Amino acid sequence: MSGGPGKDEVMTSTSTATRRPRPQAGPAWMVLALACACQFMVILDSSIVNVALPSIREDLGFTSTGLAWVVNGYLLTFAGFMLLGGRAADLFGPRRILAAGLLVFAAASLAGGLATTSQILVAARFAQGVGAAMMAPATLAVINTGFTEPNARAKAFGAWSAAGGVGGMAGALAGGAITTGLSWRWVFLINVPIGAVLIAVAMIALAGTRPARREPLDLVGAVTATAGLAAMIYGVMRSADHGWSSVPAVGPVVAGLLLLGVFAAVQARFAARPMMPLRLFRIRGVAVGNGMLLLFGGITVAMWYFTSLFLQGVLGFNALQAGLGQTPAAVMFLVVARWAAALLPRTGVRLLVLAGGGCFLTGFGWLAQAGADSGYVTGVLGPTLFVALGIGLTFPTLMAAATADVPEGEAGIVGGLANTTSQVGGSIGLAVLATAAGAETASQAAASSPAAALATGYDLVFLMAAGLGLAIAAVSVLLPRHRRT
């Protein structure tokens, strides 16, 4: 019977009509450049302010306690809102969330650069962290859904990881140069024109993206996850000043853990459309990869933060010299991250992570032998090159493992989870390692020179980091054996 489409024709037509478009309308290079530029900005702003802190304190009248929140405010909201940002990217589309995150980030940067009081600057830093928490998982969602061919995806992850490495390396150098040559305000104001350009690029390059599905946001899950993460990280930050057994540290950590427990219960039993579907943890790469990223956070803190302190406090470098002293290791990381990305489709994740763990064990074990009388080349440069080799092998590999085999509509939340575990691992690692270093330094202060006492404390940190490297190597056997990510 003619005159209308048959059943098969109707089904074909419907299937074609509901088929999702390509993840992006712009060329692949533009999409990748956008993701890398956003990641660069996010990581850069984690460290670029550090060098400008003395000038900021002098101009705005910060107290020593209040000044810490110029850094901590950004890190707190960045880590706390990351899961929410990832889920929003799934529900509303990475284009919208990335553009909105860039807008919030640029507006907050403008407010920070024009701040006339300490309260305005701290509020701007909190807002910057929210914008970054929207941007970071959205960039991972763009890569995960826009690069489906294994070689292309691996190279994209390598470039994205390298961009973060460049941002971390450039932070101290750029912060010092801008503060000295212009003003500390340009540390923030420089983000405004860059953010405007990236918003325009996002609207063009991601014009074809659509949300995987339309459904309401799990508000209970969003509130409990965000508040739980923020409270736990706040308590960890407070432990550096008050000690792990103090009420200001223990109270927020316990409250955060309870809220995260409520979040898990809601996701498992009560949420019709959960913000974080717990079934995702049945994917071995997601479960094991995120566990290893938690350990990896401590590795990065020991490498970049404590080696900088060692160079300045023990070897007598100034801030700029310390930044330059870490540059060879940063270059090593950038080169190896791209190399690892090329190897990943052929070797799988397990071999690269195992090799990276071995590099951590070797590099930190060597670094732990350095003392006040050590030279830069043999005491710091050699071992940090080994550690940077390990970071280059493991970071893009773990991020790829932790976000692979995930349905397209959940790439954002999984990207947010991977970023969150890395940030939480870094926060906990910093608090634990700083406490250990401080206690060891204090115990040696009476019997040693100040530089020698500091060296003893930092050597303990490096030994603990070597232990984390050993743990990463051991846990790597749990990663999927034959995965070609």
Average pLDDT over residues 281-301: 84
If phi over 0 gives left and psi between -120 and 50 gives alpha, with beta otherwise, what is residue 22? beta
**In a domain? residue 457:** yes
Contact 424, 79 (CB under 8 A): yes
Residue 352 in tokens: 């690269």
CA 83 – CA 64 distance, rounded (Å): 31
Asked if the model's pLDDT at residue 42 lies above 50, the reply is yes
pLDDT of residue 10: 38
150 falls in which pLDDT band (50, 70, 90)? low
| Domain end call among 257, 274, 291 | 274
The secondary structure of 302-327 as a DSSP string is IIIIIHHHHHHHTS---HHHHHHHHH
How does the average pLDDT of the chain come out, rounded? 79
Domain count, the chain: 3
pLDDT of residue 213: 53
pLDDT of residue 484: 45
| Domain end call among 252, 274, 296 | 274
Same domain? 56 vs 167: yes
Sign of the dihedral defined by the CA atoms of residues 129, 131, 134, 139, in that order: negative
Same domain? 399 vs 321: yes
Average pLDDT over residues 205-213: 61
pLDDT per residue over 432-456, tens digit each? 888 888 888 888 877 778 888 889 9
pLDDT of residue 21: 42
Contact 267, 275 (CB under 8 A): yes
Same domain? 67 vs 185: yes
pLDDT of residue 12: 39
**In a domain? residue 68:** yes
Average pLDDT over residues 391-413: 78
**In a domain? residue 159:** yes
pLDDT of residue 111: 94
Q: Residue 55: phi, psi to the nearest 5?
A: -65, -40
Look at residues 109, 140, 114, 138 and name the one whose alpha carbon lies nearest to residue 125: 109
**In a domain? residue 67:** yes
Q: Output 316 or 427, whichever has higher pLDDT.
A: 316
CA 336 – CA 327 distance, rounded (Å): 14
Same domain? 228 vs 109: no
Average pLDDT over residues 222-241: 79
96 falls in which pLDDT band (50, 70, 90)? confident
- Structure-derived torsion over alpha carbons of residues 38, 143, 289, 433, reported in degrees to the nearest 10: -10
CA 481 – CA 184 distance, rounded (Å): 49
pLDDT of residue 14: 37
Average pLDDT over residues 418-423: 80
| Domain end call among 240, 274, 308 | 274
Q: Residue 94: phi, psi to the nearest 5?
A: -65, -30
Average pLDDT over residues 289-299: 86
**In a domain? residue 2:** no
Same domain? 225 vs 113: no
Asked if the model's pLDDT at residue 405 lies above 60, the reply is yes
Alpha helices by DSSP H, listed for 369-410, are: 376, 382-403
Q: Residue 278: phi, psi to the nearest 5?
A: -65, -20
3 falls in which pLDDT band (50, 70, 90)? very low
Q: Output 475 or 385, whichever has higher pLDDT.
A: 385
Same domain? 183 vs 229: no
What DSSP character marks residue 379?
I
Q: Residue 405: helix, strand or coil by DSSP? A: coil
Maximum mean pLDDT: which of 231-235, 251-255, 274-278, 414-418:
251-255
**In a domain? residue 440:** yes
Its domain, for residue 246, covers: 218-274
**In a domain? residue 427:** yes
Asked if the model's pLDDT at residue 104 lies above 90, the reply is yes
Report CA-CA distances (Å) from 29 to 108, 138, 201.
Answer: 28, 17, 12
Same domain? 349 vs 466: yes
Contact 98, 134 (CB under 8 A): yes
pLDDT of residue 308: 79
pTM: 0.73
Q: Output 427 or 408, whichever has higher pLDDT.
A: 427
Contact 225, 84 (CB under 8 A): yes
Same domain? 207 vs 236: no
Look at residues 391, 375, 354, 423 and name the one whose alpha carbon lies nearest to residue 169: 391
Same domain? 74 vs 55: yes
Asked if the model's pLDDT at residue 482 lies above 60, the reply is no
pLDDT of residue 208: 60
Same domain? 227 vs 175: no
Same domain? 164 vs 125: yes
pLDDT of residue 363: 94
CA 163 – CA 232 distance, rounded (Å): 28
**In a domain? residue 14:** no
pLDDT of residue 434: 80
pLDDT per residue over 157-205, tens digit each? 777 777 777 777 677 667 767 777 778 888 888 889 988 998 888 888 7
Domain with residue 384: its CATH number is 1.20.1250.20
Lowest mean pLDDT among 19-33, 268-282, 335-349: 19-33
Same domain? 287 vs 364: yes
pLDDT per residue over 5-39, tens digit each? 444 443 333 333 444 444 445 577 788 888 888 88
Q: Output 45 or 210, whichever has higher pLDDT.
A: 45
Lowest mean pLDDT among 49-53, 94-98, 288-292, 325-329: 49-53
